[in-house]
Every structure is written in C-alpha cells, then in structure tokens.
C-alpha cells in the first residue's frame, strides 16, 4: 500500500522545495536539539562507543526509531537518491545529505547505530548484486526501517582471513541448505535480514573462489542466536549457529561461487560507514574532553595541552576528509581503499582520546567517586580497542593502503 503523500512521490522536486518541505516537517514533528551539550556537570555524563543496553532496551528503542523512520520515509525525506523502482525518489545524493543535516538539528529517535549495518552494508550490497525480487522485496523495507539487517561474515576461523569461511551451503532444488557458525554478529538479536557469506564449493585452488553470498531471514527455523558479553558490560555481539537453515535461491546475491566479489562491495561500504562518520566517531566527545581538562585544572599543562591541540587538529582533518569523501560520492565514485585510511585515522584519534582521558582522570577512571564526568570515561577507554578490530583490523587496513594505494607488493 502506498502511504506516501503527493510531495513524497513527486518527481523533479528542486533542492529548495525539498529543504522547505523538510524544514516544515521537522519543525512540526520534532524538537530542536539542545546544543549546550558540553556544559560541565549537566545532563547524563555517559561517554561510550557502544550501546550498553539490555536486549529489552534495544527493542524499545528500536520500536521508536522504526516508527520515526517510517514517518520520515512516508513524508518523502528518506533515501531520496534511491532508484524510484525500489522505493527511492531518484533525486541527487545531495538531497540525502541535506536531509541528514537538517534532521541532525533536531532531537529525533534515530536509533543511533541500529540501522548502520542494514543501510550501510546490507542495502547497498542488495542493490548492487540482488535479484530483482530481492530488490523489490527488501530495499524499500530496509530504508523505511521495517527491516533491520546484520552481517554474517566472521567465523571462529575466519576474520581477517575471510576467505577461510567454512559455513557450508548446499543446493537442494530451488533452495540452499546452510550449516555452520558465525560470530561477532552485531545486533543479531533484533535483525530480520542477514547478509551471509557461505562456502558452496571446495573444488578450486583459490579459496576466494567457491564462496556465495545470500540474504537470510533471521527468523528461519534452524537459526540459534546467543549473546556475547563485552568487557564494558553490554551485549552488542552475538554468535549465530545455523543448522539446516533453508534459503531460497532468489535470496542469492551474485553468482554461485562468486561471493568474494560481492563481499568486497560490502567491505568497502562497511569502511565507508565506519570511517565516513555515520558510526559513532567519538568526535562529539571532543569538546567533553576539553571541558574535562579544564575542570581538572590541566588545560595549561604542557603535555596535556599538546595532546589537546593534536586532537583538535585531527578533528579538523576529519571534517575536511569527510567533505572530500562527500565530494567524491557526488561525482558517482563508489567507496574505495581511501576508506581504509579514514578508518585508521578514526581509531588513532580514539586512541589519543583514551590517552588523554586516562592521563587527566588518573585513578578516578578506575574507582567511581560519584564525581560527574570522570569515571564515566572508563566505558570509552574499555570500548575503544574494539575499533581497531571491527570492520577489518588496523593491520589489514594498512595492507590495503600499502597494496592498493601505494602499489607495494602483496603481503
Ligand atoms: C566492534 C566489532 C563489531 C563487529 N561486528 C561484526 C559483524 O557485525 N559481523 C561480522 O561478521 N563480524 C563482525 N566483527 C568481527 C570482525 O570483522 C573481526 O573481528 C575482524 O575481521 C578480525 O578478525 P578476527 O577477530 O578473527 O582476528 P584475526 O583475523 O584472527 O586477527 C588476529 C590478529 O592478527 C592480525 N592479522 C591477521 N591477518 C593479518 C595479515 N594478513 N597481516 C597482518 N596482520 C594480520 C590482525 O590484525 C590481528 O591483530 C566485529 C568485530 C568488532 C570488534
């Protein structure tokens, strides 16, 4: 059923018309964001990189975020640049950026990173490699927030060495039967659709051949999802066990045994989503760190001051790099190896923030004195190392930069 109003389906909308309509919509439906975020001692003092919520809290937040996303989609503001035949509006990408900017000025239940994998990886990979039926069935639903996606790539024996995937898919008529285990699946428990890399052949000498990509319904019989607890206390990741899970062939993305090429599309988009800033970047916490130094009386300390200056410089470089990435996207470039550098830069900046938070807080980082804005940094410090692993480790990003940007011999 088409729920969208006349504006939402109109073709040939100008940027000015879009901006006016979006501004009016936001003013009528949301509250402007409170900007005084960095005032010392006010509001919640949490500084985390992960969602430290219970599964029940996740589901509650998800329900609100889904409802908001559907309202915005129906009003014509989400995925404006998507192809019309799959639920987009066929407008230039600049309209998507305009909407993101306007929406960021309001307090809305965007669901933080709940949609990151679905929209940053599952949707672009489906658009690039999916069957017509899969595109029709899933793209609009993903962008409208009806469906949430997760990434089923890593296994106990396949992380950096992703070609070592051993989850097995065997053809049975018009279906595939899948058996195996995935691990570190972010948000598996609230996801509807998984992007699954499986082995379909062992005949070739090349391990990159013989892999196939599928979309899998996460509610299929035979899927068992078990939480993993991280050291910050939350459970953002899950193990996913697949036992005789049946997947229809129209859920296959790309050629049989040609899944490696499809996986590369996903991984490039993943680095773009992380390095490009839609993931929690830590930079919104930069000002908080400056306030912390001031509060501790250390902002004039020569060593701390030097590090704060480095942090400020890095935040400016990040801003300009994002502008450059956006300019490249405007000219139709798909995400490339430059995103490996963006991701490396991001996690190095987070390491610098960890150094600063540790140096300034000292013992207050390990014992909760009740003092606002001090012990709360422990969550950030404990969560930051994961950034060096997720989405491809630092070493793998360096290999990519060395081989694909600098042209050095393969490792
Ligand atoms: C926050 C987070 C979220 C994640 N979410 C997901 C998800 O949703 N879905 C999913 O499928 N996976 C997910 N992962 C898993 C992630 O993709 C893997 O952890 C990552 O690819 C590394 O694999 P590994 O853990 O097996 O480590 P390994 O590959 O075993 O690496 C161990 C060490 O060896 C080094 N190393 C390995 N190979 C090389 C090489 N060729 N050259 C130099 N050094 C090398 C690595 O850099 C690392 O230091 C997530 C991980 C994290 C931390």
Q: What pLDDT, on the 0 to 100 scale, is given for residue 274?
A: 66
Q: Can you tell me the mean pLDDT for 41-55?
A: 79
Residue holding tokens 């053809």? 171
For 320, other C-beta atoms within 10 Å of its C-beta total 9
For residue 303, how far is its CA from the centre of ligand 1 (angstroms)? 33
Strand, helix or coil at 296?
A: coil
What pLDDT digit, counting tens, does each position of 149-168 carry? 999 999 999 999 999 999 99
Task: Identify the helix (H) or strand (E) that includes residue 42.
Answer: none
To the nearest whole number, what is the mean pLDDT of the chain? 90
Per-residue pLDDT at 36 exceeds 60 = no
- In whole angstroms, give the CA distance from residue 77 to residue 279: 21
pLDDT band for position 276 (cuts 50, 70, 90)? low
Give 91 or 276, the one with higher predicted confidence.
91
Q: What is the CA 293 to chain-centroid distance, rounded? A: 30
Give 225 or 329, the one with higher predicted confidence.
225
Q: Describe the crossing of helices 302-330 and 286-295 by its angle, rounded to 10 degrees.
A: 170
Q: Is the CB of 238 under 6 A from ligand 1?
A: no
Percent of residues in the chain assigned helix, strand, coil, to nearest 5:
50, 15, 35
Give 273 or 348, the one with higher predicted confidence.
348
Per-residue pLDDT at 280 exceeds 60 = no
Q: What is the DSSP letter of 79?
A: S
In this predicted structure, which of 9-13, 94-98, 363-367, 394-398 has the lowest mean pLDDT?
9-13
Alpha helices by DSSP H, listed for 105-170, are 116-117, 123-129, 132-143
Cα Rg for the chain, rounded, in angstroms? Answer: 22
Alpha helices by DSSP H, listed for 195-337, are 259-275, 286-295, 302-330
Atom of ligand 1 nearest to the CA of 386: 53
Q: Is the CB of 392 under 6 A from ligand 1?
A: yes
Q: Is the CB of 153 under 6 A from ligand 1?
A: yes
Q: Can you tell me the mean pLDDT for 267-282?
A: 60
Task: Identify the helix (H) or strand (E) that includes residue 253.
Answer: strand 252-253
Per-residue pLDDT at 403 exceeds 80 = yes
pLDDT band for position 283 (cuts 50, 70, 90)? very low
Strand, helix or coil at 46?
A: coil
Q: Is the CB of 298 under 6 A from ligand 1?
A: no
Report all structural domains of the chain as residue ranges with CATH numbers, in order of start.
Answer: 42-143 (1.10.540.10), 149-260 (2.40.110.10), 281-405 (1.20.140.10)
What pLDDT digit, counting tens, does each position of 347-371 carry? 999 999 999 999 999 999 999 999 9
Alpha helices by DSSP H, listed for 206-281, are 259-275
Asked whether 245 and 209 are in contact (CB, 8 A), the reply is: no
Per-residue pLDDT at 90 exceeds 50 = yes
pLDDT band for position 35 (cuts 50, 70, 90)? low
Query: Which residues are known catalytic residues?
Result: 270
Atom of ligand 1 nearest to the CA of 162: 21
Contacts of 111-114 with C-beta under 8 Å, sequence gap 24+, read 111/61, 111/62, 111/64, 111/65, 111/66, 111/68, 111/69, 111/145, 112/51, 112/61, 112/280, 113/51, 113/279, 113/280, 114/58, 114/61, 114/62, 114/65, 114/148, 114/187, 114/190
């Amino acid at each position: 059923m088409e729920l969208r109003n006349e504006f939402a389906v109109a073709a040939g909308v100008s940027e000015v018309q879009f901006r006016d309509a979006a501004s009016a919509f936001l003013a009528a439906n949301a509250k402007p964001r409170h900007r005084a975020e960095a005032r010392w001692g006010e509001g919640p003092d949490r500084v985390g990189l992960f969602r430290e919520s219970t599964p029940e809290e996740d589901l509650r937040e998800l329900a609100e975020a889904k409802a908001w996303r559907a309202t915005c989609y129906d009003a014509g503001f989400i995925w404006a640049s998507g192809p019309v035949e799959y639920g987009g509006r066929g407008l230039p990408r600049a309209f998507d950026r305009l909407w993101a900017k306007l929406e960021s000025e309001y307090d809305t239940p965007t669901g933080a990173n709940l949609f990151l994998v679905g929209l940053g990886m599952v949707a672009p990979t489906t658009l690039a490699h999916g069957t017509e039926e899969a595109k029709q069935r899933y793209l609009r639903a993903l962008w409208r927030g009806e469906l949430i996606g997760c990434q089923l790539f890593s296994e106990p024996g396949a992380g950096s060495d992703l070609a070592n995937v051993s989850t097995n898919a065997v053809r049975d008529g018009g279906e595939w039967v899948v058996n195996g285990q995935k691990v570190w699946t972010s948000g598996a428990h609230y996801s509807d659709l998984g992007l699954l890399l499986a082995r379909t052949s062992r005949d070739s000498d090349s391990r990159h051949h013989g892999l196939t990509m599928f979309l899998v319904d996460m509610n299929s019989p035979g899927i068992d999802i078990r939480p993993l607890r991280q050291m910050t206390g939350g459970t953002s990741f899950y193990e996913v066990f697949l036992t005789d899970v049946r997947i229809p062939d129209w859920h296959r993305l790309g050629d049989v045994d040609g899944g490696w090429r499809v996986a590369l599309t996903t991984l490039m988009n993943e680095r773009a989503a992380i390095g490009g800033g839609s993931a929690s970047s830590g930079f919104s916490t930069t000002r908080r760190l400056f306030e912390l130094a001031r509060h501790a009386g250390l902002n004039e300390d020569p060593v701390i001051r030097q590090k704060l200056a480095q942090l400020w410089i890095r935040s400016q470089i990040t801003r300009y790099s994002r502008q450059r990435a956006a300019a490249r996207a405007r000219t139709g470039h798909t995400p490339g190896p430059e995103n490996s550098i963006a991701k490396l830069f991001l996690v190095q900046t987070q390491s610098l923030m960890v150094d600063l938070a540790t140096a300034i807080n000292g013992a207050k980082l390990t014992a909760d004195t009740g003092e606002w804005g001090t012990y709360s940094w422990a969550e950030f410090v404990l969560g930051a190392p994961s950034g060096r692993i997720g989405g491809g480790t630092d070493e793998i990003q360096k290999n990519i930069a060395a081989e694909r940007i600098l042209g050095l011999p393969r490792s």
